[in-house]
Amino acid sequence: MKILLRNNVLKCIKDFQEGAAVSKTTLRVLIEFCYRVGALDYLFGDLFKMFAEGGLEQRYFESLDAFILSGKFKGHFIPTTILDRLICLYRQKDVELLEKAILNLNLGKYSQNAEVRLICEEEFLSSALIHLISTDSSHSDMNACLSILCALFNLLVRAQHKKSAKDV
């Protein structure tokens, strides 16, 4: 089954590289298939490598958008390399999408959680920040509450500082 899937993916990548118009629907169907049959290791492993090697990493991530933003991967492990690139891409593309993605992914055990929290603070993504802190498995309930309050206070101070700098 994986050989058949691999051959069809390679054909799609070749068509993309040659400029043939392969619809986004084709890629979404491929992702949906991997999701439905539980081949997420293939989706985030070999499939990602094939797209990256074919110079189509951006297309791969764009095709994942609907699945991420709908929360389909919330209960699943996504490799750190994929999450790193996704977060970077969303931050460059649209911070509102970044916030939605963070809210729809389970980043509680993500090794770069502290960096993502910092990004949320820098971009003033309060909902995502609250979500990250409250789902962080290393925080007790009391520590999580304190962390949330401190983070929100820091956001408020930074927002006021930014506003007063613009007024001057």
- Tens digits of pLDDT across the chain (168 residues): 667 666 766 676 666 666 555 556 777 888 888 888 888 988 999 888 888 887 878 888 888 989 999 999 988 888 988 999 999 999 998 999 999 999 998 887 777 778 888 898 888 888 888 888 777 766 555 566 677 777 778 877 877 777 676 665
User: Which residues, other chains included, contact 65 with Cβ-Cβ below 8 Å and sequence gap of 6+?
Assistant: 97
Distance from C-alpha of 168 to C-alpha of 58, rounded to nearest angstrom: 40
What dihedral angle (degrees, nearest 10) is formed by the CA atoms of 6, 9, 13, 18?
Answer: 100
Provide the pLDDT for residue 133. Answer: 78
Provide the pLDDT for residue 103. Answer: 92
Provide the pLDDT for residue 39. Answer: 85
The number of beta carbons lying within 10 Å of the beta carbon of residue 160 is 10
Buried b (16+ CB within 10 A) or exposed e, 102-115: bbbbebeebeebee
Provide the pLDDT for residue 101. Answer: 93
Distance from C-alpha of 83 to C-alpha of 78, rounded to nearest angstrom: 7
Q: Are 90 and 123 in contact (CB under 8 A)?
A: no
Distance from C-alpha of 106 to C-alpha of 158, rounded to nearest angstrom: 27
In eight-state DSSP terms, residue 55 is T
Provide the pLDDT for residue 144. Answer: 64
Q: Which two tokens stand for residue 128?
A: 């995502």
Distance from C-alpha of 100 to C-alpha of 104, rounded to nearest angstrom: 6
How crowded is the C-beta side of 122, counted as CA atoms within 13 Å?
A: 9
For residue 39, the one-letter residue type is A
Distance from C-alpha of 30 to C-alpha of 60, rounded to nearest angstrom: 11
